[in-house]
Amino acid sequence: MGHIVRRASWGVIDLDTRTGHIFVQEEWRYVWQLDPGARPWTLRERRRFHDIADRHIWGTWSRRLRVRPTGTHRLANPARDLPIEFDIRWVLAGGHWTVNVRKLTPGTPSPRSWVNFGARLIQLDHLDGIPYTAGNAAHQSRNNFYTIPHEFGHTLPTAAGSALPVGDEYNAGHAHLADTDSLMNIGRQVRSRHVQAVVDELNAMLPDLQFSTAP
């Protein structure tokens, strides 16, 4: 047995039972939007935007957390912690997500980007690859915050089959407001709670193999 693939509505989880490689990929179908007065998107600009998004997501999410397999399967014996890798793939039709990327009129500040989890829709703009200073309701701030990896977090559900996405943690009253280093707050660190859906899906793959986030 080699690759076991689990297909969710939001993405695909690929488990290589020989090597322990865990690969999570979402297919993104871009819609290139244009503000009045903005120059038309060139192919080079489109490719550059996708490359930036791909690098930011891979660099922020991949191999940041590990899962620990248990059970009678040989992948769990001897015990070892396995990293998870995350990736996006540009597709021209279909896809898990429709990604609107708005090219703004020159001089227009970047508006807030968002994800509609139920509609599998992401709204970004051409300035979202540029870092900025982000603040939260606890009056904390962090420099060099990137929009795209944060929005990617909203494309993951809170658990397998959940209709709720991983939410923002920077709002007043949130249980993790004090965790300013969290990616879903204003930081750059992925937490185990952000990948619970991936762990759940892994646990549905093989009856003799179970996973939990490694300490």
Q: Across the chain, what does the average pLDDT equal? A: 96
92 pLDDT band, cuts 50/70/90, is very high
**Mind listing the pLDDT tens digit for each residue in 73-82?**
999 999 899 9
How many Å apart are CA 35 and CA 54, to the nearest integer? 24
- Is 214 inside any structural domain? no
- Is 52 inside any structural domain? yes
How many Å apart are CA 55 and CA 201, to the nearest integer? 25
Structural domain span for residue 109? 3-209
Task: Give yes or no for residue 25 having a pLDDT over 70.
Answer: yes
Closest by Cα among 163, 160, 156, 148 to 114? 148
HEC states along 145-176? ECHHHHHHHCCCECCCCCCCECCCCCCCCCCC
pLDDT at 1: 60
pLDDT at 79: 85
- Please count the structural domains in the chain: 1
- Is 32 inside any structural domain? yes
SS3 11: coil
- Dihedral, CA atoms, 189, 190, 194, 199, nearest 10 degrees? -160
- Is 215 inside any structural domain? no
pLDDT at 214: 78
209 pLDDT band, cuts 50/70/90, is very high
- Is 171 inside any structural domain? yes
**Mind listing the pLDDT tens digit for each residue in 126-139?**
999 999 999 999 99
101 pLDDT band, cuts 50/70/90, is very high
